[in-house]
Amino acid sequence: MRLRLFIPTLLLMAVTASPQTPPKKSTQPKSPQNTPNEWSLRGRLAANPHDEETHKKLCALFEGRGDIRALVKERWAWLGDNPGDWFELAQLMVEAEIRLYDPEYAINAAKRYLSNSKLTPEDIAGANGDLARLLVKRGRTAEAISYFEATTKAKPDIAEFWADLGDALVKTGRIDAGIEALKKAIDLDSSFPRFHVQLGDALAVKGDLVGQETEYKAACNLDKNDPLLANQRASHFVALAKLQIDHSELAEAATDLDKALQLDPNGLYAYLVRAQLLEKKGQIPEAQAQRKKAESAVIELMKKEKKSSFVLVPSQPLAIFVENDPQETVRILEPSKEHLTSIERMMLALACFDLGKKDEGLTQLDKFFEDPKFITAQAHFTFAEALKKARLNQEAEQQYRKAYEMDPENTTYRYEYEALRRANASQS
């Protein structure tokens, strides 16, 4: 069975990506990469900017040589001449966000696309939704709301659009409006567990903890007959159990953790939550036994892996099964902090920042960058984002600057660096 790891994609990018900056596009061939074939294709597109076959060949050429910056620039140019090509926009946005880690480039492309007055309702809804979700990822939720509203106007019968709008409204303090939008989503389609979890969290903001637990239970009761979704159901039971532990409903939490492990015996995070439950009950030896059981299980799973070329073999493999739980991450990694792999050191640093442990986080950050092969623009940017979230703005500015200096073509690095530099200067 393949290991299901909970390492954020960005962490893997940050420790594996090349620190080199992609080459800038020039008007004349200056290297072996700028083959005559490329310039022949460019000539054809200059003569006919709507030649889709030639455009695809040029994109394939850039893809083949791994020049993703040139690829997204070609897609941008194509959209300038063919502004209604939604599929091309979708490709550009994915490539810019995931492969270049330049979501700001994708945001600008989507905004330019939406300036076209001749789009269909489907294209309007799709582009607005993609743009709004990306803005939320970038922490610009207030800006995203108008785009989410546009999706619900263009396609009012799509439940997911209402759920996205509701979640954004809650995050910006418009709780009642957000709850109404989430209820609208569930009225349209009650089969999505995520909608119930989002509504539950919104109700909790208003102090309705009973309503929150009710919605979490509703999420757990969906997809009962689909074995392919067993792992997803298990994660909902774990989330419900964590909620019940917080509410001191310990017997109910124990029952729901049992259900989670029945659905997904390899869901090792459930063992850690069970350990937290036992610790709250004062059963320390039993809690330690659960942690040991989880540690043994993950070691056995890793031994069974057919491929031994995991990016970085962890010294504390259990940490990679922790889901959005910085306290548990610190608990696992901190005792071994002198012997951690680079990715574990990054995980520990980020968890420390989440918990307000500034000094320890900065110590781990410095140690992470002691290894030259991990000095990448992506790594600096990852730390900058965590530092800004922890309101360590001066330290964040330094990391944004280093990311931007290493990859000056990255519009996201430039945007975040310049924005924070202005904010810091105005406060000095």
Element (H, E) at 102: none
Residue 244's closest CA among 288, 276, 271, 272?
A: 276
pLDDT digits (tens, 9 = 90+) for 225-250: 888 899 999 999 999 999 999 999 99
Distance CA 340, CA 346 (A): 9
Distances (CA, A) of 82 to 51, 249, 253: 10, 58, 55
pLDDT at 195: 97
Task: Give the list of residues 6+ apart from residue 166 with CB closer than 8 angstroms, or none.
Answer: 177, 178, 179, 180, 181, 182, 183, 184, 185, 198, 199, 202
Residue 323 has pLDDT above 80, yes or no: no
Mean pLDDT of 74-96: 96
pLDDT at 322: 85
The fold of the 225-304 domain, in CATH, is 1.25.40
pLDDT at 124: 95
Mean pLDDT of 296-305: 76
Long-range CB pairs of 5-13, under 8 A, 24+ apart, other chains included: 5/320, 5/321, 6/269, 6/320, 6/321, 6/322, 6/323, 7/320, 7/343, 7/347, 9/98, 10/101, 10/378, 10/382, 11/343, 11/346, 11/347, 11/382, 12/311, 12/343, 13/101, 13/378
Helix axis angle for 393-406 and 411-427, nearest 10°, is 150
pLDDT digits (tens, 9 = 90+) for 256-285: 999 999 999 888 899 999 999 999 999 999
Distance CA 295, CA 319 (A): 9
Distance CA 373, CA 98 (A): 21
Q: What is the CATH number of domain 341-428?
A: 1.25.40.10
Domain boundaries, the chain: 225-304, 341-428
Residue 305 has pLDDT above 70, yes or no: no
Q: Is the dihedral of CA 402, 405, 407, 410 positive or negative?
A: positive
Query: 99 versus 24: which is more confidently predicted?
Result: 99
Share of the chain above pLDDT 70, in %: 89
CA angle (93 as vertex; 89, 99 as ends), nearest 5? 135
Mean pLDDT of 307-315: 52
Residue 172 has pLDDT above 80, yes or no: yes
pLDDT at 26: 42
pLDDT at 313: 54
pLDDT digits (tens, 9 = 90+) for 126-135: 999 999 999 9
Task: Give the list of residues 6+ apart from residue 228 with CB closer than 8 angstroms, or none.
Answer: none
3-state secondary structure of 9: helix
pLDDT at 169: 98
pLDDT digits (tens, 9 = 90+) for 179-200: 999 999 999 999 999 999 999 9
Element (H, E) at 270: helix 268-280
Distance CA 47, CA 64 (A): 24
pLDDT band with cut points at 50, 70 and 90 for residue 300: confident
Residue 159 has pLDDT above 70, yes or no: yes
Check residue 216 and give left, alpha or beta (phi > 0: left; psi -120 to 50: alpha): alpha
User: Are 225-304 and 341-428 the same fold in CATH?
Assistant: yes
Whether 237 and 259 have beta carbons less than 8 Å apart is answered as: yes
pLDDT band with cut points at 50, 70 and 90 for residue 177: very high
Mean pLDDT of 136-163: 97
Share of the chain above pLDDT 90, in %: 79
pLDDT at 412: 97
Long-range CB pairs of 165-171, under 8 A, 24+ apart, other chains included: 166/198, 166/199, 166/202, 167/198, 167/202, 168/132, 168/136, 168/141, 168/144, 169/145, 170/198, 170/201, 170/202, 170/205, 171/136, 171/141
Average pLDDT over the chain reads 89
Whether 240 and 290 have beta carbons less than 8 Å apart is answered as: no
Residue 289's closest CA among 315, 271, 314, 302?
A: 271
Place of tokens 């600008």: 108
Element (H, E) at 156: none
Residue 8 has pLDDT above 60, yes or no: no
Distance CA 19, CA 402 (A): 11
pLDDT band with cut points at 50, 70 and 90 for residue 14: low
pLDDT at 33: 52
Whether 374 and 364 have beta carbons less than 8 Å apart is answered as: no
Residue 3 has pLDDT above 70, yes or no: no
Check residue 139 and give left, alpha or beta (phi > 0: left; psi -120 to 50: alpha): left
Whether 122 and 151 have beta carbons less than 8 Å apart is answered as: no
What are the tokens at 164? 């996205």
Residue 298 has pLDDT above 90, yes or no: no
pLDDT at 296: 86
Distance CA 254, CA 237 (A): 10
